[in-house]
Amino acid sequence: MAGDVLQQEKELANCLVNGAAQWWFDVGGNKYNDPTLMHRLAGLVESATEALRLDRAPVDEVAMVVDESSLCYVRVGDPIGNWFLLGMIPAVHRIGAPVAHYLVSDLPALSDRKLFLLMTSFAPTAAHRRMVDALKRDGHVLVFFYAPGLYRAGALDEGAMEDFTGLRLRLDRTGGPLNVKLATGDRLTEGLEGLVVGAGSKVAPIAYADDPAATPLAFYPDGRVGMAVKRFGSWTAVFSGVPIFQASVLRRLAEEAGVHFYIDTEDVVWASRELLAVCANEGGRRTIRLPRRSDVEDLYAGQSVASGVVEFQADFAPRQTRVFVVR
């Protein structure tokens, strides 16, 4: 039962902070009838009612962007879509900052984000290309995955990848292992050298960087560049031919973009204007840094935590979720 309570507290935190709906109901033989659980749910309903009065506008600075039409160019049953979408989620929410999920059509409304993870832009339309081009400014970091921009006007066009990303990319139709090893030579990989990133399986095709103006970040097993960065002054392009990044790699990209980090540990963070949730895996004390000076309350406990602070300490039991009101 203790685990059920922990799960309910975590799920509700996700819904409250990110503006999703939730309700409880019996399904078949699964019924909510344990007195301990029902008592806790009653308390959570009270907390949720209080939270609805708060400003829960998004404050994410990292956008994970899906071009859903590009997925139509992936073979039926191909695991590529799973690797670049579901495979990234466990790490992407453990970088110490909130990450939100968007469609490529949302990009015109996201100019104030700092880091853009363009997960599936294999076949962007002309309109989508213009939307991405409009983001190449203001210090933005754009991360292009797999074979970005490979199709143009419905036809495979290797040169279209460079037009889309700003990096000269090549296509190998014979394929190879979808993993790379991080290299030395750039601040994005400092301290992470030798880390292996990717799905590991062999796929075809694969893309690789062949740009003398770009800095290699990682190499495929055959020595070709599988991850690279190219800084243009007003924006930065990063190419990765592989998915399933570790949280440490994603955090380094967020650092490059100047993203605000709430915590330094690899715990789940969700945040809105006046709500912040932290889901700790291991128990212990966390230092939490706020983007602005605020009064802090524990939503679930109904207690004041700190007043007029930009940083505070919070203790967590193993697997505990705490939700803070910050205003």
Domains present along the chain, CATH in parentheses:
2-57+262-326 (2.60.40.1180), 62-257 (3.40.50.880)
> Do the beta carbons of residue 131 and residue 107 sit within 8 Å?
yes
pLDDT score for 257: 99
Beta-ladder partners of 272: 58
Dihedral angle, C-alpha 232, 233, 237, 238, nearest 10 °: 110
pLDDT score for 236: 99
- DSSP symbols for 158-185: THHHHHHHSS-EEEETT-EEEEEEE-SS
pLDDT score for 225: 99
Q: Encode 68-104: b = buried (16+ Cβ within 10 Å), e = exposed.
A: ebbbebbeeeebbbebbbebbeebbbbbbbbbbbbeb
pLDDT score for 77: 86
pLDDT score for 29: 83
> Do the beta carbons of residue 231 and residue 186 sit within 8 Å?
no
SS3 34: coil
Q: Radius of gyration (Cα) for the chain, nearest Å?
A: 21
Q: What is the DSSP letter of 107?
A: G
> Do the beta carbons of residue 70 and residue 105 sit within 8 Å?
no
pLDDT score for 206: 97
pLDDT score for 270: 98
Q: Encode 228-240: b = buried (16+ Cβ within 10 Å), e = exposed.
A: bbbeeeebbbbbb
pLDDT in tens, the chain (327 residues): 888 999 999 999 999 999 999 889 898 888 888 999 999 999 999 999 999 999 999 999 999 999 999 999 998 888 988 999 999 999 999 999 999 999 999 999 999 999 999 999 999 999 999 999 999 999 999 999 999 999 999 999 999 999 999 999 999 999 999 999 999 999 999 999 999 999 989 999 999 999 999 999 999 999 999 999 999 999 999 999 999 999 999 999 999 999 999 999 999 999 999 999 999 999 999 999 999 999 999 999 999 999 999 999 999 999 999 999 999
Q: What is the pTM of this model?
A: 0.96
As given in the structure block, the two tokens for residue 91 are 């790490």
